[in-house]
């Protein structure tokens, strides 16, 4: 990876001595630091969520469950099951998924991810069963009959819709697999083994024509490969961390993820420098966003910066370099006080609007759910619909 020396300006560069071993800090570890002289972060308070957001999500879920009960016909029921499965993988998981990818997840976050993945799996299976039970003649004209000349006529429209639903199920299933690995996150060996097939399963989704879906698959695959011990495959696929993101959500998280992979390779000063550059670039990268939205992104980058610095600081003290550790700590205190300490927690921290893009929406509730989701995600701009209704 090419890194210009200008990236290191303003960062305290300490000698990396052979005695300082590579840090193998799992991404599942929370960012909260060990007690030190001056630096500590109450990340639980910073990440606290307003109660009304949880209530709004519960209302969304009830609407989607109601749509399943009221759906008529196997295709409508399959679409309703897929819509709920998609929502389970995308919406309640958004905040905990962001934290997990960036090494800040709590046990409660991991449980929520695992529970959402399990619930989504049951709805994906039900949708598959319903789609498989539909006779070919129910969604396509008989071979002896002429194909309807009018686009969208009953036979061709039904066939197209079925194919879209089947494609959506195929694209959602690999994400369900990677989120389900959260249930073994506390067992490093089991997590490593589970992430290898999960990463392979995302390969096909990376090649889809939907740019947002492809970017999401790249993010999760890089995350999975790194946990599986194949960080080389992660860094090859991830874009350079200082290049402006094409996708404002998944590509932004990918850049911060790359900094953590650099940290795992023992390159602490480079990881710190690039994370700082990402924080400084937010206003340039996202000129159409409000000051509050940009601040939220800067806060997330600062938390990643503190995670890298804390890991390095602990490593230096373990290796008997207290003076160097004190310098790193002083820098962390400055970041905390000047960037994160401007408001009392909870503070606005950027999170993915959706852990997985919405591919399927239930026609009967899509408008209400979309409106509620927009209210829950003020830091993101509305996206074009990609639903398979």
Q: What confidence tens digit (pLDDT) does each residue in 10-59 have?
A: 333 333 323 333 333 333 333 444 444 578 888 888 888 888 899 999 99
Find the mean pLDDT for residues 211-233: 90
Find the mean pLDDT for residues 310-333: 91
Supply the pLDDT for residue 41: 81
Instruction: Judge whether residue 68 has pLDDT over 70.
Output: yes
Find the mean pLDDT for residues 272-280: 95
Supply the pLDDT for residue 25: 33
Supply the pLDDT for residue 185: 95
Find the mean pLDDT for residues 274-290: 96
Q: How confident is the model at residue 158 (pLDDT cuts 50, 70, 90)?
A: confident
pLDDT in tens, 86-128: 999 999 999 999 999 999 999 999 999 999 999 999 999 999 9
Supply the pLDDT for residue 30: 36
Q: Which of 28-42, 284-298, 373-387 has the highest mean pLDDT?
A: 284-298
Instruction: Judge whether residue 141 has pLDDT over 90.
Output: no
Instruction: Judge whether residue 170 has pLDDT over 80.
Output: yes
75 compared with 159, residue with greater pLDDT? 75
Supply the pLDDT for residue 239: 76
Q: Which of 31-35, 42-46, 78-82, 337-341 has the highest mean pLDDT?
A: 78-82
Find the mean pLDDT for residues 133-138: 67
Supply the pLDDT for residue 50: 82
Q: How confident is the model at residue 373 (pLDDT cuts 50, 70, 90)?
A: low
Q: At what angle do helices 154-180 and 188-201 cross, to 10 degrees?
A: 160
Instruction: Judge whether residue 231 has pLDDT over 80.
Output: no
């Amino acid at each position: 990876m090419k890194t210009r020396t200008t990236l290191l300006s303003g960062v305290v560069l300490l000698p990396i001595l052979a005695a300082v071993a590579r840090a193998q800090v799992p991404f599942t570890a929370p960012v909260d630091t060990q007690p030190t002289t001056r630096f500590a972060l109450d990340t639980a308070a910073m990440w606290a969520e307003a109660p009304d957001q949880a209530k709004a999500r519960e209302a969304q879920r009830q609407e989607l469950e109601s749509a399943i009960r009221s759906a008529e016909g196997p295709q409508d029921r399959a679409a309703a099951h897929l819509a709920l499965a998609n929502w389970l993988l995308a919406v309640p998981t958004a905040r905990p998924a962001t934290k997990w990818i960036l090494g800040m997840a709590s046990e409660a976050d991991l449980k929520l991810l695992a529970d959402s993945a399990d619930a989504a799996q049951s709805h994906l299976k039900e949708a598959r069963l319903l789609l498989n039970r539909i006779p070919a003649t129910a969604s396509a004209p008989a071979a002896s009959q002429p194909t309807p000349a009018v686009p969208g006529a009953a036979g061709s429209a039904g066939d197209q819709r079925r194919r879209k639903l089947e494609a959506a199920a195929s694209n959602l299933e690999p994400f369900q697999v990677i989120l389900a690995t959260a249930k073994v996150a506390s067992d490093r060996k089991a997590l490593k083994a589970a992430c290898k097939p999960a990463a392979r399963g995302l390969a096909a989704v990376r090649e889809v024509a939907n740019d947002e879906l492809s970017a999401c698959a790249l993010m999760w695959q890089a995350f999975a490969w790194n946990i599986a011990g194949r960080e080389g495959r992660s860094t090859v696929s991830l874009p350079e961390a200082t290049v402006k993101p094409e996708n404002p959500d998944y590509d932004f998280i990918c850049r911060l993820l790359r900094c953590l992979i650099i940290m795992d390779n023992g390159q602490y000063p480079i990881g710190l420098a690039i994370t700082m550059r990402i924080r400084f670039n937010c206003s340039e990268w996202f000129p159409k966003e409000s000051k509050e939205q940009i601040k939220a992104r800067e806060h997330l980058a600062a938390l990643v910066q503190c995670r890298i610095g804390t890991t390095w600081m602990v490593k230096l003290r373990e290796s008997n370099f207290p003076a160097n550790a004190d310098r790193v700590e002083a820098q962390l205190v400055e970041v905390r006080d000047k960037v994160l300490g401007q408001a009392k927690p909870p503070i606005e921290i950027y999170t993915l609007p959706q852990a997985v893009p919405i591919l399927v929406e239930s026609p009967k509730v899509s408008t209400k759910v979309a409106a509620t989701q927009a209210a829950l995600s003020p830091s993101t701009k509305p996206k074009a619909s990609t639903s398979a209704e």
